[in-house]
Amino acid sequence: MNIDLNIGAIPSGLSFFCALLTVCIPVVISLIHAKLHKLGDPPWKKNSDPDQ
């Protein structure tokens, strides 16, 4: 059984780093967006119930 390992098929560290950034950046932006909405919503939107 001959197993040939093609080193070129293994992604580089930069590829893994960029893949990690594609997850982290949207999560961080979403958290910032939620925090800004919590702080900046007008008074009539802060305690609104959908049932009313």
32 or 13: which leads in pLDDT: 32
Report, as an integer, the average pLDDT of 6-21: 83
d(CA 36, CA 29): 10
Over residues 30-46, the pLDDT tens digits come to 999 999 988 888 877 77
SS3 10: coil
Q: How far is residue 52's CA from residue 42's CA, in Å, rounded to a whole number?
A: 18
